[in-house]
Structure 1
Amino acid sequence: MAGQTSWRGHLKLSLVTAAVTLAPARSPSNRVRFNILNAKTGNRVESRYIDSVTHKPVADRNQVHGFPRGEDDFVLLEDDEIRSVGLESTRAINIERFVPRQSIDWIWYDSPHFLLPADKIGAEAYCVIREAMKVRDVVGISRLVLYRREHAVLLEPVEKGIILWTLRYGEEVREPVDVLDTKAKIDKKALSTVEATIAKQKIDWRPALVQDPVQKRIKALLKTKAKTAPKPSAKAERKPDGGGKVINIMDALKESLAAERRR
């Protein structure tokens, strides 16, 4: 199973079209997630946008995107204006260009997704595109609206499928050649010693090598605390408005009449 489908649409190359689905290749479902609570009441805390001057909550309908032009000066854009400059179609992956498979450095790769045919009809066109990329040893470049944002994407053919990678934008990437340009004289004896150490510590790859130890310890801590933590008491029933005891109206009338007779 590829996991939960996050997108449905079509993969297009010229006149070849295939219905496809997209699912994240990574799953955060096993990670421990916490809720923020009010320590005094035990209730969950809500997150809201607050006006920085009035300190009052801002309703969704009054929230707009602002680009800072100067101090306390913003260019405002509505959601419709931002959408108007995006892709015309959010339900199609049009492969626009192909580049050699080894020509893109690792630093450009962002998040991997499984791209799968949605039905048997689309599977044939999907496989044709995949095999053609393999033969030419290329990857496809396209664009896609995903998670409410437009992404540049790369389509990489693998053994029996296609991996779609979201790519980082040019202004986000620093060239590793400039940053990692380290030169030093290599001592041959030290090199031989390190090579021997590497050979001794070399093992086959397995996912257990990259498990998160913090998550493991947090789960153990939660399990221990769950056994010793007191169970929450039942919430007290809300009293009727007024806060006093409930008064029967007939009893009240009788008391009123008796008081009149005494007078």
Structure 2
Amino acid sequence: MAPRANWKGFLRLSLVTCPVALYPATSESEKISFNQLNRQTGHRIRYVKVDADTGDEVPNEDIVKGYELEKGHYIEVSKEELEEIALESTRTIEIDEFVDKADIDPRYLIRPYYLRPDGKVGHDAFAVIRETIREMNKVAIGRIVLTNREHIIALEPMDKGLVGTLLRYPYEVRSEQEYFEEIQDVKITKDMLDLARHIVEQKAGTFAPEKFEDHYETALIDLINQKRAGKTIRPNDRPKGENVVDLMEALRRSVGQKASQTVAAAKPAKKPKKAAAGQKEMLMPIAGKKTAGKEASAKKQASGRQRKSA
């Protein structure tokens, strides 16, 4: 079952309009998450909204937004006042222009959404907009209001629908100069580049997300399973960083190391374990249930053998 839509409204290209719904394209619900507990009681910690001066808890209906002009001095803005400045993009994604995908700086990308027709009407208009973008091999740029903020959204076809990626505004992207200006200008020899290029060619592959493994998530699951089983937790050795003294020697060793790995990889590999559907399937069952069953079965078989020999 598809999740609830984050937004519903209309997609418009000039006079062509259709009702659409926007859905999150990513999810982190399968990741291990923790609650904060009181170490003394084991109870969960609950956060409450309190008045900073009186310390009294404040109910939601008495909470308003405020912009701080100076320390301790605010201008209050009500929900009704915010609704009065609602933009057209609150209900409509207006396509403003078409650009080449290569022109979009990756620093401006925020998060992806799926866009599809909403209801039984408007599929024809949606298909016209989608196939126009596909045929032109462009990305459509529009505007949308999410969480009371207007965002720029880049639309491109995917199968029968559209993928919309929210983009940052220029003032949200920091200049690279303040980080890169102190990087030294160095001269790289052709031999170094040749060796580095050889390493890259040996590691060349295709983008296949199914090969990615979240090692930290796996370590968290292993930690939880060990604690549930009552095992003693022993810290792993931390990786040590090494300073490169001879860059040329490091490149040569890298090439040789990759060659030996290639030979090892040519040997028949063990059949990989089937990837779990999610973290819950990887967590161990309640400790003791299966073990107790096996022990009972073993005792029963041993008892039967004793009676038979008697």
TM-score, with normalisation over the residues of structure 1? 0.76
Provide the C-alpha distance between the structure 2 equivalents of 1:2 and 1:165, rounded to a whole number of angstroms: 19
Q: Would the aligned equivalents of 2:7 and 2:22 in 1 still touch at CA under 8 Å?
A: yes
Amino-acid identity (%): 33
Structure 1 residue 150 displacement after superposition: 2.7
Q: Would the aligned equivalents of 1:97 and 1:141 in 2 still touch at CA under 8 Å?
A: yes
The corresponding residue for 1:191 is 193
State whether structure 2 residue 221 is matched by structure 1 residue 206: no
Structure 1 residue 173 displacement after superposition: 1.0
Aligned pairs for 1:150-229 within 5 A: 150-176=150-176, 180=180, 183-228=185-230
Aligned pairs for 1:127-146 within 5 A: 127-146=127-146
Structure 1 residue 3 displacement after superposition: 5.2
Structure 1 residue 176 displacement after superposition: 4.5
Q: Secondary structure at the residue paired with 1:96? A: strand
Aligned pairs for 1:1-263 within 5 A: 4-88=4-88, 90-176=90-176, 180=180, 183-228=185-230
Amino acid at match of 2:205: I
Provide the C-alpha distance between the structure 1 equivalents of 2:109 and 2:60, rounded to a whole number of angstroms: 34
Q: Would the aligned equivalents of 2:66 and 2:76 in 1 still touch at CA under 8 Å?
A: yes
The worse-fitting range, judged by mean Cα deviation, of 13-22 and 106-115 is 13-22
Report the RMSD for the aligned CA atoms in angstroms: 2.7
Provide the C-alpha distance between the structure 2 equivalents of 1:210 and 1:52, rounded to a whole number of angstroms: 45
Provide the C-alpha distance between the structure 2 equivalents of 1:97 and 1:191, rounded to a whole number of angstroms: 41
Provide the C-alpha distance between the structure 2 equivalents of 1:185 and 1:47, rounded to a whole number of angstroms: 56
Structure 1 residue 93 displacement after superposition: 1.6
Provide the C-alpha distance between the structure 1 equivalents of 2:202 and 2:88, rounded to a whole number of angstroms: 56
TM-score, with normalisation over the residues of structure 2? 0.65
Aligned length: 230
The worse-fitting range, judged by mean Cα deviation, of 152-161 and 193-202 is 152-161
Structure 1 residue 163 displacement after superposition: 1.0
Q: Would the aligned equivalents of 2:111 and 2:166 in 1 still touch at CA under 8 Å?
A: yes
Q: Secondary structure at the residue paired with 2:151? A: strand
Q: Would the aligned equivalents of 1:94 and 1:142 in 2 still touch at CA under 8 Å?
A: yes
Please say which structure displays the higher CA radius of gyration.
Answer: 1
The worse-fitting range, judged by mean Cα deviation, of 42-51 and 213-222 is 42-51
The corresponding residue for 1:259 is none
Structure 1 residue ranges, 4+ long, deviating more than 4 angstroms after superposition:
1-4, 175-183
- Return 5+ residue gaps in structure 1 as ranges: 232-263
Distance 1:107 1:57, change over 3 A: same
The worse-fitting range, judged by mean Cα deviation, of 177-186 and 204-213 is 177-186
Q: Would the aligned equivalents of 2:96 and 2:142 in 1 still touch at CA under 8 Å?
A: yes
Amino acid at match of 1:61: E
